[in-house]
Each structure stands twice: as structure tokens, then as C-alpha cells.
């Protein structure tokens, strides 16, 4: 299963490593017909650090601990990215987006990012997001959109997650409206490594139909956070 996922998402990950900006176009091409190579598998293995084994925590203790970590200011946040909840928090989750157009949804998510303290300039990052959309849609299909951008207006790598229950037109190539939307924000001075980690996490989980359905079925931000918390790039299981 994991090799199959890597086959679908190998090209965009290589594109990230090469600092190619149009990552999502490679992403779409990979869905159409990319094949896993031994080189790619070895490359990803090198990028995944082993997980230290410690005393087990209950799920409630782990959730409280992680919520405490992600609520730190951007300057205090650990640079290590192992799961989505390392770069998001409850304030960056909206399970009932109100916007009826792509740009309205983008603006909603930008407000959350700005209020959480991850931006130096909301308008500055908005320019990067819209410019990327003009280069090619970030609606990758399967009711998923991943608007993203690198900008000097971003302080730290972060992800905003939003749900648009009835969908919004994102000009996706498969014709589906976007319902699960992940906005990736990365400082312009960053290399491709942050994009690699974030896309690796997303790619593993979003190809799982049951995971997508579970996200769409959440009733609270806490439920969504718990699901995203399980998106660990260091594990190969579902």
C-alpha cells in the first residue's frame, strides 16, 4: 500500500527537492501514471528519522501534550515536522468554511493564519497564493485542494485545514468541487525540505478514501485535529 502511494506522489516529492514551484502540476501528473523507483524509495527512507520509543501515553494525554506544543508562538515552535499537528493547531482548523468561491475560502483561511501569528503580512502571502493559482489550479481532484505558497510574509511553516461541506469550485482537473482544503504556508527563505515533509504527510493520508471520509464526517475541530494528529510521516501504516 505504501509503495503504491509513493508511486502516485513520487514526482511531486522529487519536484520539491528540486525546488520546483509548480509542485501540484507534478502531483497531478503523478496521479495519472507515475511509477515508484528504487531511488525514490531510498531517498524517502533517508529523510525519515527513526522514532524514539518511550513510555506510552494515553490518547488524551498525547492530544493535550501536542495541543500545548502547537499553541506556542511561531518563534518557539520546534522546526521538526513529523505530523500535520506539528505545524497546525485548533485555531488553524475550520470545519465549516463559509465562502462560496475559491477566493473567499482562501481569504477565510488567510485570516486564521494571520490571527494565529504565522504571517508578517496577510496581503503579502495572499499575493503568493493567488499567483500560484494563476499558474495552475491547486485543486488536485478527489474533492481536495492544496493552495500553497512561499513568501517573505510567512514566519514559520504552517498548514491551515478547512472543510467546505457542499464544496467550492476549484477548477479541479477531475471536475470535483473542493471540500477538503489544506493551505500550506512556507517562508521564502526555506529550502524544499519543509514542502517535502508536508507533502509526504498529506500524500500518505489523502489517498486513503476512508481517511477523507472521516475528515468530512467530523463534527468538531477537536475531532479533525485528532485525525490530523495521526498523519505521521514516520509511520508506514494507515
The beta-strand segments (E) located in 53-142 are 93-94, 139-141
Q: Which helix (H) or strand (E) element contains residue 183? A: strand 178-187
- Residues that are catalytic: 148
Q: Is residue 73 within 8 Å of residue 117, measured between CB atoms?
A: yes
- The residues near 169 (Cβ < 8 Å, ≥ 6 apart) are 101, 102, 177, 178
- The residues near 227 (Cβ < 8 Å, ≥ 6 apart) are 211, 214, 215, 218
SS3 at position 179: strand
183: exposed, middle or buried (C-beta count within 10 Å: 0-12, 13-18, 19+)?
Answer: buried
Amino acid at each position: 500500500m505504501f509503495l503504491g502511494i509513493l508511486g502516485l506522489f513520487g514526482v511531486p516529492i522529487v519536484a520539491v527537492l528540486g525546488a520546483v514551484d509548480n509542485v501540484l502540476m507534478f502531483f497531478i501528473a503523478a496521479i495519472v501514471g507515475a511509477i515508484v523507483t528504487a531511488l525514490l524509495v531510498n531517498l524517502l527512507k533517508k529523510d525519515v528519522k527513526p522514532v524514539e520509543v518511550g513510555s506510552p501515553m494515553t490518547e488524551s494525554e498525547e492530544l493535550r501534550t501536542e495541543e500545548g506544543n502547537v499553541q506556542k508562538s511561531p518563534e518557539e515552535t520546534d522546526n521538526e515536522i513529523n505530523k500535520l499537528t506539528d505545524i497546525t493547531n485548533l485555531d488553524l482548523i475550520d470545519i465549516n468554511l463559509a465562502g462560496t468561491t475559491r477566493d473567499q475560502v482562501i481569504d477565510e483561511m488567510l485570516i486564521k493564519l494571520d490571527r494565529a501569528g504565522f504571517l508578517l503580512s496577510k496581503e503579502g502571502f495572499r499575493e503568493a497564493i493567488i499567483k500560484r493559482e494563476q499558474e495552475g489550479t491547486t485543486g488536485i481532484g478527489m474533492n481536495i485542494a492544496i493552495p500553497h505558497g512561499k513568501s517573505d510574509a510567512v514566519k514559520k511553516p504552517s498548514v491551515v485545514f478547512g472543510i467546505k461541506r457542499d464544496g467550492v469550485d476549484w477548477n479541479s482537473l477531475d471536475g470535483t468541487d473542493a471540500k477538503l482544503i489544506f493551505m500550506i504556508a512556507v517562508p521564502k527563505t526555506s529550502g524544499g525540505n519543509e514542502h517535502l515533509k508536508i507533502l509526504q504527510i498529506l500524500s500518505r493520508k489523502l489517498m486513503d478514501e476512508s481517511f477523507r471520509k472521516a475528515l468530512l464526517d467530523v463534527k468538531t475541530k477537536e475531532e479533525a485535529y485528532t485525525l490530523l494528529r495521526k498523519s505521521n510521516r514516520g509511520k508506514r501504516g494507515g
